[in-house]
Amino acid sequence: MTWVEGLGWLSAALAIGGAAMRTIIPLRCLGIAMNVISLVCSAATLNIPGIVANVVLLPVNGYRLVQMIKLVGKVRRAARSDLSMDWLKPFMTRRAAKAGEVLFAKGDVAECMFYTLTGRFRLRESGIAIPHARLVGEMGFLAPDNRRTQTLECLEDGEVLTITYDELRQLYFQNPEFGFYFLRLTSERMFQNMAMMEQELGRLRPAAAERAA
């Protein structure tokens, strides 16, 4: 067996291994190795079509590999982030909220989410007050029927930032790492809301026990 034939068998083995790969980065790495081996074999045998094909495919695979590595890096940074909303604010629209205004009602179709700036807001059904610099209404984006589960009312004049779910979807498609960030963000908000509800229930239980006594 000549060294060219040996490289050919190695390239075939890499092709078979590539077909079994389930993730993109290892597949791109195998593709680059195959391109290098095939290019050497094609050059040794003066296979011009093979040379041209691998000269084109090698930088393409390299470029895609770099893209994927950068994307993974962005996702990891999102995972380690402090969930600050500063980066999202430029994509949101500022609007005023008047005392007594209902920003959304339980059972409504959810189309947007809000970020509180000033004023006082409350989730009516649970009685939970929404402080400043808090995201609210994001769970409707993930709900199967996109329906509101509570009513958000304004208790004191203020301002909020708002962004539609359609705009959120556009951000996701433009920046795939945003999907991971948003999932972590909503999960964090859900746990925060659960903790607030547990605190409120803990405050109400003694009063209820005294009334029962």
Answer yes or no: are the C-beta atoms of 123 and 199 closer than 8 Å. no
The mean pLDDT value for 166-174 works out to 77
- Report the pLDDT value the prediction gives residue 80, as an integer from 0 to 100: 61
The answer to whether residue 74 scores a pLDDT higher than 70 is: no
Give the confidence band of 12 by pLDDT, cuts at 50, 70, 90. confident
CATH superfamily of 91-212: Jelly Rolls (2.60.120.10)
The contacts found for 144-150 with CB under 8 angstroms, 24 or more apart, are 146/109, 146/110, 146/111, 147/107, 147/108, 147/109, 147/110, 148/104, 148/105, 148/106, 148/107, 148/108, 148/109, 148/110, 149/106, 150/106, 150/123, 150/124, 150/125, 150/126
pTM attached to this predicted model = 0.54
Give the confidence band of 84 by pLDDT, cuts at 50, 70, 90. low
pLDDT tens per residue, range 179-189 = 666 777 777 76
The domain limits of the chain are 3-80, 91-212
The answer to whether residue 75 scores a pLDDT higher than 60 is: no
Instruction: Give the closest residue to 120 by CA, choosing from 141, 138, 136.
Output: 136
Structure tokens belonging to residue 149: 């589960």
More confident site: 122 or 4: 122
